[in-house]
Structure 1
Amino acid sequence: MAIVTFSPINNSLAHPMNDSRCQIERVSRALIALVITLAFTASSHADEPLKRLRVSDDGRMFVTDDSEKPFAIWGVNYDHDESGRLLDEYWIDEWDKVVEDFEEIKQLGANCVRIHLQIGLYMESPEKASAAQAKQLERLLKLADSKQLYLDITGLACYHKSNIPDWLNELSEADRWKAQAMFWSEVSNVCSGSPVVFCYDLMNEPILPGEKPESDWLAGELGGKFFVQRLALDRMGRSREQIAEAWVNQMVDAIREQDSDTMITVGVIPWVFAFGGGKPLFYSPTVGKHLDFVSVHFYPEKGKIDHALKSLKAYEVGKPLVVEEMFPMKSGIDELTTFVRQSRPHVDGWISFYWGATADELRAKEDGGIAEAITAKWLNTFQELSSEIRSQSDR
């Protein structure tokens, strides 16, 4: 976290001499939220069903089925709640919480929610999905439709090792890919025909092995979660591009057998940004030929916004471009806001994070610290930006 950047905010929350100022700020934010809510209520045609999103005829942007008007994605990752639990760990027993959180996401001005499904919970075996999990996914489609929120469904997650079954770890690469393809077949079978689904994201931040064989499918532990997953452990004479192309094609084929319309993407780490050069592997002409748009995860660094914007242009490959993850983790909120605004000529969607607690709830936490203060202020900023971003498109 950029603690120095946000320490003035945290101090203003804690110092008793600033109580009046805080009250004024809270009232101002409440008024802004009310204006945004009323504006969206007036323009969202809440009684109308969501219209399917697609790539425009010229391939440059998102539009609805019946229009060529640009549609900007403005959403949040709902990857875990305030206690760190993933959605599919509580959406059966605590459905009311999911409903409440989706309403809070709607009030932020979002029009899209990115959810993350764990293969170890969704699949009972390599060949069969859990009926209970499939039922909840169907239920989530109806909830999202009622809230006028599109879904970015990201799959094959192995974020919590405790939810990875032995059978998955024991599979060979070929059989692991078959199980992953079956996951997508089962998920797309539930979702086929639903305009609520914005896209299927095949996997969060897949990576390829280097010259030496690997021993673990997962990499990059962060806060007890493993967000990064390898597609193979051994290249076995194949190039990284050949592995990625074969895997993407197998996953896409599984989806297209069930769902011929919903867009497909892969959320990638911006290695071009990290290494300062190179070309995107998953969005090369061969690997990405069956992917409908580009999804990349950007966390701009303090003082390096221009570098982030320049790196982002490397992902302009003639398809719509979505910043599928962003948060002021390495920069200040003002800098991230600048990144969003200055990337608008090149980007068709931005997705941040919502972890089950509103800005007011975060500020009210007795044990809250700098992280809660940053998140609370960013949620307010996100809400304020929503009308600006969505006014350029929407239904």
Structure 2
Amino acid sequence: MRHLLIAITFCWIPTVCAETLPTVRVANNGEHFVRGDADERFVVWGVNYDHNGDGELLDDYWIERWDDVVEDFSEIKQLGANCVRIHLQLGKFLEAPDRANQAALDQLAKLLKLAERQGLYLDITGLACYHKANIPDWYDLQSEQERWRTQAFFWESVAEVCRDSPAVFCYDLMNEPILAGKQPASDWLGGELAGKFFVQRLTLDLADRTRQAVAKAWVDQMVEAIRKHDDQHLITVGVIPWVFVFGGGKPLFYSSDVGERLDFVSVHFYPQKGQVAKAITALQAYNVGKPLVVEEMFPLKCTEAELTDFVNHSKGFADGWISFYWGATSKQLREADDATIGHAITASWLERFSSMAEEMKQPVGE
């Protein structure tokens, strides 16, 4: 019945054709996003579609259960979002260091067409190693140089598929990359969170290099890989705001020497309860003369009202916000047989997110 309803729905819901979905770019002044020939201001209001309610990542099920993806994109559109951040696993897209999985690339092309029809842009985050079971043994055995070469091949393969689609908002090179400390590390992955490894190291050993030098070399190599096929879509890196975490310091990836080839700033913010002002101050440290997007946010450590305040107070200098959607509407969450407090918090936030959509997508002063 669920799939029948999807088919019926898509018979009459108007869709947005590729021709009417203008490519997003950075304005000539470098300070915000625009799209179309008229340079229409564009503000991101989106969701991370990183996994479903069972914890499965998109590319774990998008071939066998494509109808679920179609339904979810329709629900995301109804929330008022204009952007979906997807997370692609390296192990699902590469069969060998220099051989791509054609089935995965074909499914990505199919997803691009769905996004075009729905009028949704994609923030394509790559190189994910969230599930250890999906990490190839050969990948973990590679040296740093070999690993970077493999990562560059991943991005070459993805960019070749995506280059002509207006639905691509950006390529996010990696979710929350980190570097080794003063002492060499033994594992490419950072800490585990709810069975997933969201954080990945670029190097296990700085080997007398500065952190800035390593970060710049990696960013430049990934950008070069993408630009072999795609010279128009935006490139960014979603980072942990260490300025916020440690209460000081300066951005690494968005410093002038490291982030020169990144088109805009992406940071992940989960304000602490009672510390909205501190979060705003930390976010302003990333206002470096490029468009600024809060690429992750959720009332994880604060109240819904406080997160709303954070969004509203950052509207004067931010150019987008991306929250989360895990494959269930607020109604489905509230009516679930196993509904928990977490379900209720998510349902309430989805309703607030939807109610704010139209206002937040309007640029300040318009």
TM (norm. structure 2) is: 0.94
> One-letter code of the match for 1:312?
L
Higher Rg: 1
> One-letter code of the match for 1:339?
F
Paired with 2:19 and 2:198, the residues of 1 have a C-alpha distance of: 36
> One-letter code of the match for 2:355?
E
Paired with 1:301 and 1:343, the residues of 2 have a C-alpha distance of: 16
- Aligned counterpart in structure 2 of residue 82 of structure 1, from 53, 64, 75: 53
State yes or no: 1:289 paired with 2:260.
yes
- Aligned counterpart in structure 2 of residue 352 of structure 1, from 323, 337, 349: 323
- Aligned counterpart in structure 1 of residue 224 of structure 2, from 228, 253, 266: 253
What residue ranges of structure 1 are gaps of 5+ in the alignment?
A: 1-40
Alpha-carbon deviations, 1:146-169, whole Å to 9, x = none?
Answer: 000000000000000000011101
Give aligned-pair identity as a percent: 60
Spell out the pairing of 1:189-208 with structure 2 (5 A cutoff).
189-208=160-179
- Aligned counterpart in structure 2 of residue 127 of structure 1, from 98, 104, 129: 98
**Counterpart position of 1:299:** 270
Paired with 2:163 and 2:18, the residues of 1 have a C-alpha distance of: 22
**Counterpart position of 1:325:** 296
- Aligned counterpart in structure 2 of residue 68 of structure 1, from 39, 48, 58: 39
State yes or no: 1:264 paired with 2:235.
yes
State yes or no: 1:155 paired with 2:126.
yes
What CA RMSD, in Å, does the superposition of the two structures yield over aligned residues?
1.6
Spell out the pairing of 1:161-172 with structure 2 (5 A cutoff).
161-172=132-143
SS in structure 2 at match of 1:360? helix
SS in structure 2 at match of 1:218? coil
Paired with 2:136 and 2:99, the residues of 1 have a C-alpha distance of: 13
Paired with 1:45 and 1:250, the residues of 2 have a C-alpha distance of: 35
Alpha-carbon deviations, 1:14-73, whole Å to 9, x = none?
Answer: xxxxxxxxxxxxxxxxxxxxxxxxxxx999976853100000000000000313332100
Alpha-carbon deviations, 1:179-209, whole Å to 9, x = none?
Answer: 0000000000000121110000000000010
**Counterpart position of 1:32:** none
Alpha-carbon deviations, 1:296-322, whole Å to 9, x = none?
Answer: 000011110000001000001100000
Query: Cα offset for 1:382?
Result: 0.3
Paired with 1:44 and 1:72, the residues of 2 have a C-alpha distance of: 21
Alpha-carbon deviations, 1:363-394, whole Å to 9, x = none?
Answer: 0012211100000000000000001112338x
Quick check: 2:280–2:314 contact (8 Å CA) kept in 1?
A: yes
> One-letter code of the match for 1:89?
D
SS in structure 1 at match of 2:153? helix
- Aligned counterpart in structure 1 of residue 333 of structure 2, from 335, 342, 362: 362
Paired with 1:194 and 1:319, the residues of 2 have a C-alpha distance of: 24
Alpha-carbon deviations, 1:321-373, whole Å to 9, x = none?
Answer: 00000000000001101111110011000000000000000000122111000
Paired with 2:52 and 2:88, the residues of 1 have a C-alpha distance of: 14
Paired with 2:70 and 2:13, the residues of 1 have a C-alpha distance of: 22
Spell out the pairing of 1:334-345 with structure 2 (5 A cutoff).
334-345=305-316
SS in structure 2 at match of 1:352? strand
Paired with 2:244 and 2:304, the residues of 1 have a C-alpha distance of: 20
**Counterpart position of 1:279:** 250
TM (norm. structure 1) is: 0.87
What residue ranges of structure 2 are gaps of 5+ in the alignment?
A: 1-11
Question: How many aligned residue pairs are there?
Answer: 353
Q: Which has the higher contact order (CA 8 A, sep 6+)?
A: 1
